Amino acid sequence: MSETQKKAESIGYPTLESLIEQVNPDFSEMREHQRTLLKLSKSAQSAKEKASASQAALAYQRFFELFDKILEIKNKIMNEK
């Protein structure tokens, strides 16, 4: 496997690692996308659009919850050193 292929397969990890290392990661843009999706889940014309927007907004919420848990674990590890 070439180095380029390896990078393409793990493209998300460097971004996540970078966010984890930040003291106060900026999720404002992601939160704005989530708010937009929540609005769309209530105002979309079709039930399919509403359901899709609702599921996408929920995925953002789960990401935020998971990221908070990761930071909690990181802080616990750092405090044990």
Determine the Cα–Cα distance for residues 17 and 3; give it in Å rounded to an integer. Answer: 19
Which pTM value belongs to this model? 0.74
Domain ranges of the chain: 29-81
Polymer length in residues for the chain: 81
Tens digit of pLDDT for each residue in 60-79? 999 999 999 999 999 899 89
Separation CA 42–CA 51 (nearest Å): 9
Q: And the tokens for 46?
A: 């079709």
Task: Give dist(CA 49, CA 42) in Å, integer.
Answer: 10
The mean per-residue pLDDT over the stretch 42-52 comes to 96
Distance CA 59, CA 61 (A): 5
